[in-house]
């Protein structure tokens, strides 16, 4: 959580050009610290995301007795304590803004012999947790919260866990991962089935750390009673961070950008399919396999876009990309319809509402629906928007400003540091006009 409020003023810069990497993948960085902490031996993580969310996870494991060194920027050396080596923390474990930290940790801590309390910032404290509490209780965990469904979460240790078969009502990698991580400590087998396949980093990385996992798109199964073996992890660039640059280069005439070593797992790259269906020019080069999924260099050139009816099958594969997708749609010719995306209402902010309100403030014709929105493409004009403290809303409107005559004031952007530290300096170097502003009042 960022204590100091920050605002931006963004405006159209020049055509984007450059050749750059993006910060490490957030999902993989969280999991790398968690699994390395529980492994036998020392693991080195390169490309670790130096963001507030992932630092919170590292701090939580330090508070439970795990030595984590940071010998250089973006490197962590984790001295694993083994599956049963965590120690009771002295106080509440602060997950900051991170739903991933809280939900994955709730599963992992359910199997410990000691009590824990997981808390977070104002945004995280509004987010639904029953989706993990219910299956964890079915496994025998004692997990509670004051209002029954929102943080802080109190987990009483010392309960024996039993494996379950869980048919998840939501397509959520966080829910799946919470159940699988509890499954490490459970008697017997644990199996999760999903309504739509979600990112499988927990499954892949458990396997890479030597724990047998049986998985396919939409299902994962493991059994307790194994050990995790330390290993080195190379974290790819975060596709969700690259997404802002991909859309910006697509929208600004004359742009040509190369993004190096970006994770392009198909469960993350739905935005590429959506943008290509709208007419975008995005090419993959040097596709290669990594321990955490495929990576590639991406070449993006300006292209005029047209609106689409977004296939619902793509929603889970671009779940974090809707803020910037909405900007692409607002700058496209014609109508874009999003349906089947009600999950967006329970992210770091209500992203359907945040985008509809912000785009309307810039003169766009947008209609909110319960599970999506209808966006009429057109011209955007200068105005003021509020990110509602949501990192991805803030960055999406910085991209929108690249298509506006005049200035876009963006309020409450400090949380960009949760996932994309250095965003402002990087986008300036690529062509954006974006400055810190004195706080916007009113």
Active site residues: 320
Give the Cα separation of 416 and 427 in Å (integer): 13
- To which residue do tokens 């916007």 refer? 440
In sequence order, the 6+-apart residues with CB closer than 8 A to the CB of 134 are none
Cβ closest to ligand S3P, residue 202 vs residue 255: 202
Closest to 199 measured CA to CA, from 173, 221, 161: 173
Cβ 183 to ligand S3P shortest distance, Å: 16
Cβ 229 to ligand S3P shortest distance, Å: 23
Cβ closest to ligand S3P, residue 16 vs residue 319: 319
Cβ closest to ligand S3P, residue 131 vs residue 159: 131
In sequence order, the 6+-apart residues with CB closer than 8 A to the CB of 129 are 102, 103, 106, 145, 149, 150, 151, 153
Cβ closest to ligand S3P, residue 107 vs residue 431: 107
Cβ 317 to ligand S3P shortest distance, Å: 11
Cβ 81 to ligand S3P shortest distance, Å: 23
Cβ 323 to ligand S3P shortest distance, Å: 12
Q: How many Cβ atoms sit within 10 Å of the Cβ of residue 362?
A: 23
Binding residues vs ligand S3P (CB under 6 A): 27, 99-100, 172-174, 177, 199, 319-320, 343
Cβ closest to ligand S3P, residue 27 vs residue 415: 27
In sequence order, the 6+-apart residues with CB closer than 8 A to the CB of 289 are none
- To which residue do tokens 């619902």 refer? 312
Contacts 24+ apart (CB under 8 A), 59-68: 59/94, 60/89, 60/93, 60/94, 60/95, 60/101, 60/105, 61/33, 61/34, 61/37, 61/86, 63/89, 63/90, 63/91, 63/93, 64/37, 64/88, 64/89, 64/93, 66/37, 68/33, 68/37
């Amino acid at each position: 959580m960022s204590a100091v409020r920050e605002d931006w003023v963004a405006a159209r810069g020049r055509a984007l050009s450059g050749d750059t990497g993006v910060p490490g993948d957030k999902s993989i960085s969280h999991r790398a610290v968690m699994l390395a902490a529980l492994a036998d031996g020392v693991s080195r993580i390169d490309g670790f995301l130096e963001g507030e969310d992932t630092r919170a996870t590292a701090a939580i494991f330090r508070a439970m007795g795990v030595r984590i060194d940071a010998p250089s920027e973006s490197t962590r050396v984790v001295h694993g304590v083994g599956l049963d080596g965590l120690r009771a923390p002295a106080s509440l474990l602060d997950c900051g803004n991170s739903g991933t930290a809280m939900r994955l940790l709730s599963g992992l801590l359910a199997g410990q012999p000691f009590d824990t309390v997981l808390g977070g910032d104002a945004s995280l404290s509004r987010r639904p947790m029953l989706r993990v509490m219910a299956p964890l209780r079915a496994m025998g965990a004692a997990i509670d919260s004051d209002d029954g469904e929102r943080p802080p979460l109190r987990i009483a240790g010392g309960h024996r866990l039993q494996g379950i078969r869980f048919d998840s009502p939501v397509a959520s990698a966080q829910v799946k991962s919470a159940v699988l991580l509890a499954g490490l400590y459970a008697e017997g087998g644990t199996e999760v089935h999903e309504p739509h396949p979600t990112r499988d980093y927990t499954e892949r990385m458990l396997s890479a750390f030597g724990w047998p996992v049986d998985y396919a798109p939409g299902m994962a199964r493991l059994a307790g009673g194994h050990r995790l073996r330390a290993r080195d992890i190379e974290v790819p660039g975060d596709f969700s961070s690259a997404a802002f640059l991909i859309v910006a280069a697509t929208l600004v005439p004359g742009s040509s950008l190369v993004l190096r070593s970006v994770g392009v797992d198909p469960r993350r790259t739905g935005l590429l399919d959506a943008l290509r269906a709208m007419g975008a020019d995005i090419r993959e080069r040097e596709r290669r396999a990594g321990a955490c999924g495929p990576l590639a260099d991406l070449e993006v050139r300006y292209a005029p876009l047209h609106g689409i009816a977004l296939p619902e099958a793509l929603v889970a594969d671009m779940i974090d990309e809707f803020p910037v997708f909405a900007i692409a749609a607002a700058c496209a010719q014609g109508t874009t319809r999003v349906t089947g995306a009600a999950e967006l209402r329970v992210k770091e902010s209500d992203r359907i509402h945040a985008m509809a309100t912000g785009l309307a403030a810039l003169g766009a014709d947008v209609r909110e629906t319960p599970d999506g929105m209808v966006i009429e493409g057109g011209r955007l004009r200068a105005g003021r928007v509020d990110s509602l403290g949501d990192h991805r809303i803030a960055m999406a409107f910085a991209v929108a400003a690249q298509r506006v005559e005049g200035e876009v004031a963006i309020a409450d952007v400090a949380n960009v540091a949760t996932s994309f530290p250095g965003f402002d300096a990087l986008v300036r170097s690529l062509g954006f006009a974006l400055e810190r502003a004195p706080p916007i009042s009113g």
